[in-house]
Structure 1
Amino acid sequence: MFDARIRPLIDPALNAQGRVIARWGISANQVTLLGLALGLLSAALIALGMFGWALLPLLLSRLADGLDGAVARASAPTGFGGYLDITCDFLFYGAVPLAFVLANPGANGAAGAFLLMSFYVNGASFLGYSVLAERHQMSSTARGVKTLYFTGGLLEGAETIGFFVALCLFPGAFALMAWVFGALCFVTAASRVLLAYRVFSKKR
């Protein structure tokens, strides 16, 4: 919901840093993998019950996720780079809820499973729309220059990062927050399906 509004504010700084990193000879894919490593470190700390300590690598991983595209734009963007980025993102987004379940299976198991299912459905609606958009040569830069077509929704990257931060700050409320956020993910997926129906139902 907020991604399109945030991009014009953060892109100039990210692009400037991306040019510096590219001059150092660091590739966009290396930044992507560093972001994944930091995200998985955060998840491991959450699973061990070290919720406060998990915040720093979590935020650094999302910074790397923003920088990899900037580095790619400053050097040589590739289709594989975009593919690697979205795959690592999905791994990170699944690892954090799993970590909270592992930290307290009894209290968090059902809510965590519901949250992961909602991520699965929401991700499928996002990727399916992207495939159709590519097929029909649609493009958008509202959420920055992307390899894939990004559709808007009630919950996007900024909201998910904020949600993960809130979970680390208030881990005892995981179950309640997971049920609510998961329900909103289903709303986001349903709205995207309706949008796809309006846009593509008469196209081959």
Structure 2
Amino acid sequence: MLDTHGRKYVQPVIGATAKGLIQVGLSANQVTMVSFVIGFSSGVWIYFDQPILAVIALWLSGFLDAVDGTMARLTKPSAFGTVMDVTFDRIVEISVILGLAFRFPEVMWALLLLSVSIIFSMTVFLTVGAVTDKSGMKSFYYQAGLAERTEGFILFTLMILLTPYLLWLTLLFFVVETFTGVQRLLEAKRVLQAREDETDETI
């Protein structure tokens, strides 16, 4: 939700950073790799009880993840870059969840539920992107929802910093992510049904 409606407010900073990195000779895919390494380190910092460093790494990774997309659009978009971007995003999330799970094994069951809800929501998201011909700023059809990446980062941040409430924050994230998956599933049914109806009308 915040990604969809709030991106316009931070895009000037993202755009300026993207142009600066292009000027120094970096490619979008190189920035994607840097973003991935920084983001993956977040889970390591969590495990070693360095929550501030974990949060900084997470948000810096998220910022660079937005920058690399802008860089791609300013230069030459790469299909493999999209694959890298989506894949690395999920690995960063896995890193955070594993860091929390190993640091706080007593809530591992809740973190497992959260992982299931993310798999569900992302399965809908990626499947719809694969079967629809709509596209937006990204190189695939982007489904908005209650929990987009910024909401996920906010909830991950709260989970990292407010560990006495980790169980309840994880369950909240699970509910929000599951709701988003159902939201996207229903929206996918509407979009794809409308496309089928348009096809039938042209026959």
Match of 1:138 among 134, 156, 159: 134
Mapping of residues 37-186 of structure 1, within 5 Å: 37-105=37-105, 107-133=106-132, 137-140=133-136, 145-186=137-178
Taking the aligned partners of 1:96 and 1:148, their CA distance within structure 2 comes to 26
Q: Which runs of 5+ in 2 are unaligned?
A: none
Taking the aligned partners of 2:53 and 2:84, their CA distance within structure 1 comes to 27
1:10 partner amino acid: V
Taking the aligned partners of 1:120 and 1:30, their CA distance within structure 2 comes to 27
Taking the aligned partners of 1:54 and 1:6, their CA distance within structure 2 comes to 24
Secondary structure at the aligned position of 1:201 is classed as helix
1:188 lines up with 2:180 in the alignment: yes
Q: Which runs of 5+ in 1 are unaligned?
A: none
Taking the aligned partners of 1:52 and 1:80, their CA distance within structure 2 comes to 33
State the Cα distance separating 1:4 from its structure 2 match: 1.5
Taking the aligned partners of 2:190 and 2:62, their CA distance within structure 1 comes to 33
Secondary structure at the aligned position of 2:146 is classed as coil
2:17 partner amino acid: Q
Taking the aligned partners of 1:14 and 1:50, their CA distance within structure 2 comes to 27
User: What is the TM-score with the length of structure 2 in the denominator?
Assistant: 0.91
In the TM superposition, what whole-angstrom CA distance separates every residue of 1:75-96 from its partner, at most 9, and x where no partner exists?
2111111111111001111221
1:138 partner amino acid: K
Contact in 1 for aligned 2:42/2:95 (Cα 8 Å): no
State the Cα distance separating 1:99 from its structure 2 match: 1.0
Larger RCO of the pair (alpha carbons < 8 Å, separation 6+): 1
Secondary structure at the aligned position of 1:20 is classed as helix
State the Cα distance separating 1:179 from its structure 2 match: 0.9
Taking the aligned partners of 2:190 and 2:53, their CA distance within structure 1 comes to 45
Please give the root-mean-square deviation of Cα atoms over the aligned residues, in Å.
1.4
Contact in 1 for aligned 2:100/2:160 (Cα 8 Å): no
Ranges of 4+ aligned residues in structure 1 off by more than 6 Å: none
User: What is the TM-score with the length of structure 1 in the denominator?
Assistant: 0.91
Taking the aligned partners of 1:188 and 1:164, their CA distance within structure 2 comes to 16
In the TM superposition, what whole-angstrom CA distance separates every residue of 1:112-163 from its partner, at most 9, and x where no partner exists?
1001111110110110111122xxx2123xxxx2112111111111101111
1:123 partner amino acid: M
How many residues are treated as equivalent by the alignment? 196
State the Cα distance separating 1:42 from its structure 2 match: 1.0
